[in-house]
Amino acid sequence: MEQKKRKQLLKLIESDCRLSMEEYAIMLGEEVQIIIAEIKRLEQEKIICGYRALIDWDKVEDDWIEALVEVQTIPKGEEGYREIAERVRKFPEVKSLFFVSGRFDFILLLQGRNIKEISKFISTNLASIPDVSGTQTHFVLDKYKEWGIDLYQSDSDPRIQVSL
């Protein structure tokens, strides 16, 4: 499959991975078998890393909190950062882990049942890593947009109503 169509396919999958192979094929003007083979190849090469639904857990769970935690480490070069990332990413509370530029080295997205649970995780698991020199925690109070999806879209039709 040509590069341009491959990127279009990836964008379609990213925006709605529930579409059928037939629907992707129609949208791209390709044969279904080509789409199936391409998706299989993209999965094998770990270009497609997984499929997810975006759930607004605030509407489902009462005991639910997320925190963004900035983590500062003692510099030990690239291998040192990888070792810390390898250790931190294994915790189930860590939903996302990013190596970043700036004052802090990592940003983590943590999920827990309450502030106390998140605080205990930070003091017990993060602070106990010898190369972690500091953390700063930001609790998520509300979400307005996530992964490009507006969480506050109104259900009303945005088109202007015209009557004759």
Tens-digit pLDDT profile for residues 48-100: 999 888 777 777 877 889 999 999 999 888 888 999 999 999 999 999 999 99
pTM summary value = 0.75
Which residues, at least 6 apart from 126, have a Cβ–Cβ distance to it below 8 Å?
69, 71, 88, 132, 135
pLDDT in tens, 151-160: 886 655 555 6
